[in-house]
């Protein structure tokens, strides 16, 4: 700092302005004549340290706490610094008057007043500091409004409680830390401008949603809805409450023909529930769990992508199939027939190691580990002093009878591998054993994947006919086999709680915004009806006093 430079500070106790306004005030102060630098932020220890490192705190101790607004100016002279601080209120007022076209004359100070001003509002956008955000979200739910919760630093237990409450009432809580959503053609938060269409998105990754939505737009597709859940929604603590609600909504939405689900890898038990619901959606669902191994490329109507761009490409392709614009992919599985679910566990008795691994990988996405066991009978421990099971099926026949005798086993999976050097008639041996165990247990389901061609010496058609005559269901790919197993064992779950009405995601959109004024400006610019709440921290930011007032209010 030069000898002539002067640092002056002003403290506004308990003063609250959203972070965008503070950023703009800081820039406006820095642009004033004679001002060298400026800082505008809440006086938290970390912010005070940052201001001190920038030479924006005077040497004398400032009486300011973490809930107070600290305005610091470094200027060429004391007069220039004083003049800059004297213009703070005028600059704040100028910021409000410059809002783009949608500035409202009256700003309510509570949600209740905002709803009287805009009774059609179905959404409340919240971007206030995290320690206050959950309370506002709960108030919005009490008024039967859906919540877009941009705020972060909300404790996970509060998030879980809010989402359980919303689920019981048929409402949505998107977030906390939810940056992106598109509902009824209106972007909430950091949403891209995309054409409307028939592809619905569900994402625990805000930028992931943006990347996929933008790519879909570039490929000529359109978005029906994009529902962000917040990054913790698919954790074990939250249990995927919002993601399951969103999937259920898009499953019922007639404007959505194709669904995309994107997230960082969910907790295993949450992934199983989510994919089980997605599998029963009755629409193509593209799934991309960032960094997770692909259980398959396709399982029934589920299509697994390996990247954000591929997820967008697959969504557009399958949506085009629904519109009849392009032929479906070769080798697509036939539409599944209805079959009732079965109880019990699953056993897989395989001769091919890779087939066993792929089956295990596919099932692990949908079933709890204790629900199934896949055995590779060609592994080293089973072939000591014994021929490989592709040649000698004695061990598999014994295991088949043993597993069938266990009443807890409801489904047995087999592979039948044809070709040169393999058993001359594997179905001829397996068929009688399958018929035998099913005669004793008609409730037992046996399914087999047959690998081979019509040129193989075992006669492919004859092998399939023999197995089917014995009572086995026969498939030609591991994906089809896994899909059959999942449909039998993973009974389709209905989303718990009250269903979210489709009106929640349909236009015209009306919303109340508490927090970042830029979100209000964005709503108005998109043609949505909106009200900005003049929110201030309760009790001037004094948490102890706010708690006392809240308890007193609860008694009244």
Q: CA dihedral defined by 542, 544, 550, 556, rounded to 10 degrees?
A: -120
202 — pLDDT class (breaks 50, 70, 90):
very high
449 — pLDDT class (breaks 50, 70, 90):
very high
Quickly name the fold that domain 6-97 has: Gyrase A; domain 2 (3.30.1360)
74 — pLDDT class (breaks 50, 70, 90):
very high
pLDDT at 167: 97
Domains 6-97 and 108-177+509-556 share a fold: no
Average pLDDT score over the chain: 87
| DSSP state at residue 290 | T
pLDDT at 384: 82
Mean pLDDT of the region 357-382: 88
Query: Which of 115 and 361 is assigned the larger pLDDT?
Result: 115
Contact 345, 369 (CB under 8 A): no
Mean pLDDT of the region 171-178: 95
**Reduced to 3 states, what is the DSSP secondary structure of residue 181?**
strand
Q: 3.40.50.720, 3.90.800.10, 3.40.50.300, 3.40.50.261: which CATH number matches 180-329+492-506? A: 3.40.50.261
**Reduced to 3 states, what is the DSSP secondary structure of residue 277?**
helix
pLDDT above 90 as % of the chain: 54
Alpha carbon distance 77, 75 (integer Å): 5
pLDDT at 337: 44
Span of 23-32, 179-188, 337-346, 429-438 with lowest mean pLDDT: 337-346
- DSSP per-residue string spanning 435-481: HHHHHH-TT-EEEEEEE--TTSTT-HHHHHHHHHHTT-EEESSHHHH
Which of these, 71, 80, 78, lies nearest to 35 by C-alpha position? 80
281 vs 26, 275, 278, 500, 524, CA distance in Å?
Answer: 50, 10, 5, 16, 34
- DSSP per-residue string spanning 351-387: S-HHHHHHHHHHHHTTS-GGGEEEEETTSGGG-TTS-
Position 124 pLDDT exceeds 90: yes
pLDDT at 336: 43
For the chain, what are the domain ranges? 6-97, 108-177+509-556, 180-329+492-506, 345-476
- Give the CATH number of domain 345-476: 3.40.50.261
pLDDT at 432: 97
Position 327 pLDDT exceeds 60: no
Alpha carbon distance 301, 284 (integer Å): 5
pLDDT at 400: 96
151: enclosing H helix or E strand = none
554 — pLDDT class (breaks 50, 70, 90):
low
- Give Cα 508 distance to the centre of its chain: 24
Mean pLDDT of the region 367-371: 84
Q: Compute how many other C-beta atoms are within 10 angstroms of the C-beta atom of residue 21.
A: 18
Position 359 pLDDT exceeds 50: yes
Span of 157-166, 424-433, 546-555 with lowest mean pLDDT: 546-555
Mean pLDDT of the region 439-458: 93
Return the CATH class of domain 108-177+509-556: alpha beta
Q: What are phi and psi of 433, to 5 degrees?
A: -65, -40
Mean pLDDT of the region 495-505: 88
pLDDT at 176: 94
pLDDT at 99: 44
pLDDT at 540: 58
> What end-to-end distance do the CA atoms of the chain give, in Å?
56
- Express each pLDDT in 263-307 by its tens digit: 988 998 899 889 989 988 999 999 999 878 888 888 888 999 988
Mean pLDDT of the region 202-219: 89
Q: What is the pTM of this model?
A: 0.77
pLDDT at 497: 84
539 — pLDDT class (breaks 50, 70, 90):
low
Query: Which of 466 and 550 is assigned the larger pLDDT?
Result: 466
Q: At what angle do helices 460-469 and 426-440 cross, to 10 degrees?
A: 10
């Amino acid at each position: 700092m030069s000898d002539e430079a002067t640092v002056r500070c002003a403290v506004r106790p308990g003063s609250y302005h959203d972070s965008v306004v503070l950023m703009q005030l800081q820039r406006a102060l820095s642009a004033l004549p004679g001002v060298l630098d400026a800082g505008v932020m809440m006086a938290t220890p970390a912010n005070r340290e940052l201001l001190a490192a920038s030479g924006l705190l005077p040497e004398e101790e400032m009486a300011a706490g973490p809930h107070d607004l600290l305005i610091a100016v470094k200027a060429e002279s004391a007069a220039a610094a004083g003049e800059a601080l004297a213009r703070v209120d005028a600059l704040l007022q100028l910021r409000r008057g410059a809002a783009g076209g949608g500035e409202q004359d009256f700003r309510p100070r509570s949600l209740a007043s905002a709803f009287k001003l805009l009774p059609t509002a179905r959404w409340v956008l919240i971007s206030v500091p995290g320690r206050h955000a959950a309370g506002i979200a709960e108030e919005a739910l009490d008024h039967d409004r859906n919540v877009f919760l941009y705020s972060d630093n909300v404790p996970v237990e509060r998030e879980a409680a809010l989402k359980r409450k919303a689920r019981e009432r048929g409402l949505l809580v998107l977030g906390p830390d939810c940056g992106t959503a598109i509902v009824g053609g209106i972007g909430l938060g950091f949403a891209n401008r995309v054409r409307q269409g028939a592809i619905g998105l569900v994402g625990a990754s805000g930028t992931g949603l943006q990347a996929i939505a933008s790519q879909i737009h570039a490929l000529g597709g359109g978005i029906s809805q994009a529902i962000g859940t917040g990054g913790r929604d698919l954790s074990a603590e939250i249990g995927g409450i919002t993601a399951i609600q969103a999937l259920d909504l898009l499953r019922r939405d007639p404007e959505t023909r194709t669904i995309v689900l994107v997230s960082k890898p969910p907790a295993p038990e949450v992934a199983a529930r989510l994919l089980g619901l997605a599998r029963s959606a009755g629409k193509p669902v593209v799934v991309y769990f960032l960094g997770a191994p692909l259980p398959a490329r396709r399982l029934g109507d589920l299509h697994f992508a390996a990247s954000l761009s591929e997820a967008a490409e697959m969504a557009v392709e399958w949506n085009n199939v629904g519109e009849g614009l392009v032929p479906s992919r070769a080798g697509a599985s036939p539409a599944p027939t209805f079959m009732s679910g079965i109880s019990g566990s699953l056993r897989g008795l395989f001769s091919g190691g890779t087939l066993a691994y792929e089956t295990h990988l596919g099932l692990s996405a949908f079933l709890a580990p204790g629900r199934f066991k896949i055995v590779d009978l060609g592994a080293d421990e089973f072939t000591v002093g014994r021929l490989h099971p592709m040649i000698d099926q004695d061990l598999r026949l014994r295991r088949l009878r043993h597993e069938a005798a266990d009443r807890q086993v409801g489904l047995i999976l087999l592979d039948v591998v044809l070709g040169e050097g393999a058993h001359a008639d594997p179905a001829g041996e397996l068929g009688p054993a399958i018929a035998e165990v099913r005669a004793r247990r008609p409730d037992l389901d046996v399914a087999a994947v047959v690998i081979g061609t019509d040129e193989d010496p075992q006669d492919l058609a004859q092998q399939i006919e023999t197995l089917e005559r014995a009572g086995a269901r026969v498939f030609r790919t591991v994906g089809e086999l896994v899909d059959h197993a999942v449909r039998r064992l993973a009974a389709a779950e209905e989303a718990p709680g009250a269903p979210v009405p489709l009106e929640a995601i349909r236009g015209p959109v009306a919303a109340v915004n508490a927090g970042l004024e830029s979100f209000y400006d964005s709503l108005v610019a998109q043609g949505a009806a909106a009200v900005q709440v003049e929110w201030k921290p309760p009790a001037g930011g004094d948490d102890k006093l706010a708690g006392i007032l809240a308890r007193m209010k609860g008694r009244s």
